[in-house]
Chains A and B, each alone.
Chain A
Amino acid sequence: MALSETSIDPQLYLVEQTRWRPAEIVFWLATLLPYLLFPNYLSLASQIAIAALFALSLDLILGYAGIVSLGHAAFFGIGAYTAGLLSKYGWGEPLSGLVVAAFAAGVVGYATSFVICRFRHLALIMLTLGFGLLLAELANSLGWLTGGMDGLQGIHTWKLLGTFPFDLYGRAAYAYALAVLFVLFLFTRRLIHSPFGLSLRGIRENFVRMPAIGAPSRAHIRTIYTIAACIAGVAGALLAQTTETVSLDSLGFERSAEVVVILVLGGAGRLYGGLVGATIYLIARDQFSGIVPQYWYFWIGILLVAVVIFLPNGILGGLAQFTARWSRK
């Protein structure tokens, strides 16, 4: 979106953006509510936090830099398998596992970014889709390493910080996932409200003109793509560690598609889009499938169609429009 005030000082604008709004503080305090109100839903809450982190990483490239990806699960899967394999072969310490997973996903992200930064739009969809499928097939054929169709067996995650075990109720799992989500969110927030983040939005709007005003489009895209890959890898590693399972679905097409749906639902190009989208999508999924295990996709479909028709910029986009109209009156 273009700025409404055109003659604003860019630095002041960015500083203004980084200020914490009351709604944000309420949002993050609300993430602690499951411990008080829904102690039986903590494992769902932890999977929501993980999906939110994954959607946040996609938002960086899709929402801010305009890189359409249908293969983002590749990095999620690399992170998941890295953490899973580390644990299987004797190193189940969760935090260091995250770092290694982020590194592994980042390396692959950096390597592929050289191709990604040369294409836009439709070609990108095909490229990322193809890359995702290639990786999924590779994991399938490396059955001796990945466990193939049956998934990786023998993952055991050590206690968090050496004290908190990952229990059946998901208490540690949620705290862990939420803390990682929060830290990486802070990082993302800072990044987006930096001159670099601003130039990403410029690249999204006009790829060719940005280099003319001193922002090298391709280099910026390589950077953000690598960062997004790292964060997606962390999300995958979190899922592998908290559930102690990894299987081919973690890098399958469906996961790539689902995260796009989550982001579009919440609102792409908004920091909280992925977070809100993941919360609503996964809770709706859980509730609908609890009521009708066979036909719940029908209701998810209705929800998506309704959101796209009535709130074309996602739930947050719709909310923003609504409040803007309301405050003008």
Chain B
Amino acid sequence: MRRILLAGLSVLALSLLPVAGHAQGTVKIGLIMPYSGQFADAATQMDDGIKLYLKQHGDKLGGMNVEIIRKDTGGINPPVAKRLAQELVTRDNVDIIAGFVLTPNALAAADVSSEAKKFMVVMNAATAIITTKSPYMVRTSLTVPQLTETLGTWAEKRGLKKVYTMVTDYGPGIDAEGAFQKGFKDAGGDIVGSVRMAVQNPDFTAYVQRAKDLDPQGIFVMIPGGAQPGAFGKALAGVGVDPKKTQVMGQLEIADEHALASMGDIAEGIITAAHYDYNHKSKMNADFVKAYNADFKRNPDFFSIGGYDGMHAIDAALKKSGGKTDGESLISAAKGMSWESPRGPISIDPETRDIIQTVYIDKVEKVGGRLVNVQIDAIPNVKDPIKAAMKK
């Protein structure tokens, strides 16, 4: 009797022991995103990109089974993001942390990646310095200066000499202002004036009027997506600024699908710098958009492509590391990796672990009665200019 009891106890004890390592051939990925709150739509698009990649690859990455654990930060909340990252690592034993729509959350979780030596994939958050915070991090989205400094240089080369800049007075706006002005001035252009606008519900009329009074050849604008592009469009129409004559330029948010729908015809002629738009012409992108629409009944956006390519990065890194899931193996596999994405050719800079990609210059045009972004130029192999400048 006693022996049976003992045997029973030891079986129980064995079953209670934490499983050392993982079941053979499973990779655990923790996603930290704002699934609820005002950024929930971005998280949904990114998550859908992730789901689509997994579906197209038989739910396997690098030949391994995949287990995904989703964690919600509920918006900008770095202490929570950091705690979730800690818990994913210590409680759920994830191999990789990924996601990250918002910069503050990515910065907070980066500490955990660095300390626990876990591979981290940033799929959107776009402030330049993020990747410097952990040596085990790659980014598959963009950096703000990558787009806007490129746009500044391009605008000057295209003959615009006098430009006015108007940005929202918050982190990304200020970054974009600095990067655009740098690119534009370094190329020889002249900034005739600039303004920083309130974050909450501004009426753009006065700002646009002020810009018009200075009679610039172009206006650079950076405002948050959502309701603001519509209000901006109204101000352009009200004051009488025609984007085709006074060239209105910005980053992709001001002319994405929703922005164009709310702005209406006044948007025609706006030029944006973008790393992805669903109208990008390539066979691969056409297939991607079609598959995305089939599953999720809407067009992918830059959040979707960040998630999709992020999963590709994990997939390819696992293949190259031969199934080793530690941060060291994965990051050395990911450095210098390049592949063809629906957005075009992209690669991971072996020095900064940041993305190198083509920056597209798009123009809003009416095609078949619908406003769409038409690609008018492309600047290949753009690195993040901030980190390039830091090295000098």
- Judged by DSSP, the binding face of B is helix
Q: 1/0 contact trace for A150-167 toward B, CB 8 Å?
A: 110100000000000000
B381 close to A (CB within 8 Å): no
B36 close to A (CB within 8 Å): yes
Bound form: Cα–Cα A248–B79 in Å: 11
Number of interface residues of A (CB under 8 A): 33
Bound form: Cα–Cα A225–B174 in Å: 37
A289 close to B (CB within 8 Å): yes
Bound form: Cα–Cα A143–B111 in Å: 21
A96 close to B (CB within 8 Å): no
Q: Are A150 and B86 in contact (CB under 8 A)?
A: no
Q: Are B108 and A245 in contact (CB under 8 A)?
A: yes
User: Given the interface contacts A151-B78, A239-B79, A294-B36, does A245 sit within 8 Å of B107 by beta carbon?
Assistant: yes
Bound form: Cα–Cα A293–B36 in Å: 7
User: Given the interface contacts A150-B104, A150-B127, A294-B40, does A44 sit within 8 Å of B169 by beta carbon?
Assistant: no
> In residues 88-106 of chain B, which contact A (Cβ within 8 Å)?
89-91, 103-104
Of the residues A148, A153, A239, A294, contact of B35 by C-beta under 8 Å: A294
> Across the two chains, which residue of chain A brings its CB closest to B200?
A137
Q: Are B103 and A150 in contact (CB under 8 A)?
A: yes
Q: Are B78 and A243 in contact (CB under 8 A)?
A: yes
> In residues 127-145 of chain B, which contact A (Cβ within 8 Å)?
127, 129
User: Given the interface contacts A149-B171, A297-B36, does A289 sit within 8 Å of B72 by beta carbon?
Assistant: yes
Q: Are B90 and A40 in contact (CB under 8 A)?
A: yes
Question: What residues of chain A lie closer than 8 Å to B90, measured between beta carbons?
Answer: 40, 43, 168-169
A27 close to B (CB within 8 Å): no
Q: How far is the CB of A265 from chain B (nearest CB, A)?
A: 17
B116 close to A (CB within 8 Å): yes
Q: Are A143 and B91 in contact (CB under 8 A)?
A: no
Q: Are A244 and B111 in contact (CB under 8 A)?
A: yes
> Across the two chains, which residue of chain A brings its CB closest to B125?
A150
Bound form: Cα–Cα A150–B112 in Å: 17
B170 close to A (CB within 8 Å): yes
B71 close to A (CB within 8 Å): yes
Bound form: Cα–Cα A33–B307 in Å: 39
A91 close to B (CB within 8 Å): no
Bound form: Cα–Cα A173–B275 in Å: 41
Bound form: Cα–Cα A223–B166 in Å: 46
Q: How far is the CB of B327 from chain A (nearest CB, A)?
A: 13
Given contacts A169-B86, A254-B75, could you give 10 more A-B pairs where the C-beta distance is less than 8 Å? Answer: A41-B91, A43-B86, A47-B79, A140-B169, A149-B103, A243-B78, A244-B111, A247-B108, A294-B44, A297-B36
Give the interface of A toward B (CB within 8 A). Answer: 40-41, 43-44, 47, 140-141, 143, 148-151, 153, 168-170, 239, 243-250, 254, 289-290, 293-297
Q: List 23 A-B contacts (CB under 8 A).
A: A40-B87, A40-B90, A43-B86, A44-B87, A47-B79, A47-B80, A143-B174, A148-B171, A149-B76, A149-B170, A149-B171, A150-B127, A150-B171, A169-B86, A169-B90, A243-B82, A245-B78, A247-B104, A248-B76, A289-B36, A289-B71, A294-B40, A297-B74
Give the interface of B toward A (CB within 8 A). Answer: 33, 35-36, 40, 44, 70-72, 74-80, 82-83, 86-87, 89-91, 103-104, 107-108, 111-112, 115-116, 127, 129, 169-172, 174, 199
